[in-house]
Amino acid sequence: MNPQGTEPLAKADTVLYCTTSGSLATDLSQYGDGLTADTTAVYETSSALRGVTGATGRNIWVRASIATTDTNKFILIHGSTTVSTDNTYVIYLDGTGKITFGQGSTTLLQVTHGLGVTSSVGLMWSTRPNPDTTGASDAQVSEFGVYDFTAAAWIGERQQVTHAVSTTNAAWALTVGGWYSGGAVTSKSGQVSQCRIGVAFYPMAEQAEDWIAARSAFSSSYVEVLEPLPVTVASGLADESEYAGAANVGLAAAAANASRGRCLSDLVNEVYSDARTLTNTPSPTQWLMAPPGGSVKFALDVTRLRWLPHPGPTRAWVRVHVQSWVTAGASVPIGIRCYAFNRPHIGAGVKIEGYPAPALDFDFVSAALNANHGSGGVGVWLDLGLLRLPVFTGGAPSWSGTVTLGLAHAIDPFNLSTNDTNARLKIKAWTVRPVLGQD
């Protein structure tokens, strides 16, 4: 996909966007690859760009005026210029006036519109790979929707059809409002006012938001809380003869602190769907190292070191989701720790950007568990508690104002079991959330 153009409805995946509010022959997508005008229709020969099979996604939108007497007319087609049934995709009105969506000679869906007058109709067609495919015949899923702008109502329900991937040809032509056949456009529908083609799947809700009516902005039912003491020049707080006592300053500080708290988010909030199984034998050894403080049993996992901007508050609440089990014998205690460092745990005296590294300041919180959840078990959340967050205060600019977090684990941390070799552990998730008011 390419960057989105300047038109809001010409999105990053769009390969054609044209409308009669400008000129139907003008392509308003980022490609700017215009079509050739032919009275009430437009076309492009050798239209490789718009030959989208939908194998990796496709969306089509066409708005057209349809009369009750309209039959055997093409609304949109990308196909051969000699045989119309050789096509990548086609939308047309058959001999009885039904709106027909098809690919090649296969009809995917027919809609009996039942319009009593000439009506402006929006036609939506989105295609994506079928996750439940059983073979080539149902490799894709297409969703269809037809909206009657004149009556402000949907025609029927949204339809979903499974089908094969369509074939295409770079030499085939694209025609909007007819079929380009042997040097001329025939079977013109003549009333197409909008067309967009893209290479991504859009759900019907997104198509409707784009073309029918956007939903109103969300409004909260909660009372909006305004800052009680706006400290501005206009407030006159510091003017001569004005007074600002401890209560005023305290209120301003409390308001600023509350505002800061509303802007905080989790420092770490990670879930691992493919968490690796840990044992009492470090593997691979290069992923594990000894944490500071002389702990022999705990191993610091270097794949879970997180270097982050310091949030300001000096405390954070830590939770870790673990699954513990044994392959045989009695359950084995396990220990989990979360460390916070003022700088990466790379040893004392290491110079960073020409500056000597400050002394390592660190803290950790830990919890222990003795449980057998089974190899297919879910596990539990362990609340490790409040962790102090030291901050880097050295001179190196790139490390200033940061904190490094890490996880460590131990099988049988207190040497209480003789079944350590059968112990297994998975760390499946962890969260570190800054806490105000604990400084």
pLDDT digits (tens, 9 = 90+) for 262-289: 788 899 999 998 899 999 888 888 888 8
CATH for 98: 2.60.120.200
Reduced 3-state DSSP string for 315-347: EEEEEEEEEEEECCCCCCCEEEEEEEECCCCCC
Residue 185, pLDDT > 60, answer yes
* Per-residue model confidence as pLDDT tens digits over 288-345: 888 887 666 899 998 999 999 888 888 999 999 999 999 999 999 999 999 999 887 7
Can you read off the two tokens belonging to residue 289? 């190292």
Residue 189 in domain: yes
pLDDT at 240: 67
Residue 95, pLDDT > 70, answer yes
Residue 7, pLDDT > 70, answer yes
Q: What angle do CA 188, 194, 198 make, to 5 degrees?
A: 105
Residue 362 in domain: yes
pLDDT at 333: 94
The verdict on 427 and 280 lying in the same domain is: yes
> How far is 433 from 427, CA to CA, in rounded Å?
18
pLDDT, averaged across the chain: 87
CATH for 361: 2.60.120
**Residue among 256, 266, 258 at smallest CA distance from 434:** 266
**Residue among 38, 91, 97 at smallest CA distance from 72:** 97
Q: Look at the chain and report how many structural domains it folds into.
A: 2
- pLDDT band (50, 70, 90) for residue 156: confident
Residue 243 in domain: no
The verdict on 203 and 295 lying in the same domain is: no
The verdict on 276 and 198 lying in the same domain is: no
- Low-confidence winner among 2-11, 55-64, 143-152, 175-184 (lowest mean pLDDT): 2-11
Average pLDDT over residues 70-88: 95
Residue 260, pLDDT > 80, answer no
The verdict on 45 and 193 lying in the same domain is: yes
Residue type, 263: C
pLDDT at 332: 95
Can you read off the two tokens belonging to residue 55? 């194998």
Residue 17, pLDDT > 70, answer yes
The verdict on 178 and 272 lying in the same domain is: no
Q: Which residues contact 279 (CB under 8 A, 6 or more apart)?
A: 411, 421, 423, 424, 425
pLDDT at 116: 74
- pLDDT band (50, 70, 90) for residue 352: low
Give yes or no for a contact between 309 and 373, defined as CB atoms under 8 angstroms apart: no
* Domain extent at residue 362: 268-434
Residue that terminates a domain, selected from 211, 240, 255: 211
pTM above 0.85, yes or no: no
pLDDT at 297: 85
Residues of the chain with pLDDT > 90: what percent?
Answer: 60
Reduced 3-state DSSP string for 208-266: HHHHCCCCCCCCCCCCCCCCCCCCCHHHCCCCCCCCCCHHHHHHHHHHHHHHHHHHCCC
pLDDT at 311: 87
The verdict on 148 and 54 lying in the same domain is: yes
- Low-confidence winner among 166-180, 198-212, 236-250, 281-295 (lowest mean pLDDT): 236-250
**What residue has token string 């206009």?**
234
Q: Which residues contact 42 (CB under 8 A, 6 or more apart)?
A: 18, 24, 25, 35, 36, 175, 176, 177
Residue that terminates a domain, selected from 211, 246, 276: 211
